[in-house]
Amino acid sequence: MFNGPFEALREIEKLKKEIGVLNVQCYGYRETLKKYGFRRNFDAALVIEEKDNEIKSLLSQIKELKSASIDHINI
């Protein structure tokens, strides 16, 4: 659990950047895929999906924070 909504939002931004990097790897050069241990695009897509699920989980944690007074979170 996070200390507050802003800490959680920072974590979400970090994960979004990771997903962006993984997208580049997934649809980029074969050498890059090999370098990061992805045998094929399907492997990279699974990791992207996993990170996306982490973001969804973080969003639900933010909603559960009783002290959070955020009316709208734009991601």
Question: pLDDT tens for residues 33-75?
Answer: 566 665 666 666 666 677 777 777 777 776 666 555 555 555 5
Is 25 part of a structural domain of the chain? yes
Is 28 part of a structural domain of the chain? yes
Is 4 part of a structural domain of the chain? yes
Type of residue found at 32: T
Is 10 part of a structural domain of the chain? yes
Is 30 part of a structural domain of the chain? yes
28 or 12: which carries more pLDDT confidence?
A: 12
Please compute, for residue 36, the number of CA atoms within 13 A of its CA located in the half-sphere on the CB side: 18
pLDDT band at residue 3 under the 50/70/90 scheme:
low
Range of the domain at 6: 1-36
* pLDDT reported for residue 54: 79
Is 51 part of a structural domain of the chain? no
Residue 59 burial (CB count, 10 A): 15
* pLDDT reported for residue 11: 75
Tally of structural domains, the chain: 1
Of 45, 43, 70, the C-alpha closest to 61 is 70
* pLDDT reported for residue 44: 60
Region of residue 9 (left: phi > 0; alpha: psi -120 to 50; beta: else): alpha
How far is Cα 70 from Cα 32, in angstroms, rounded to an integer? 39
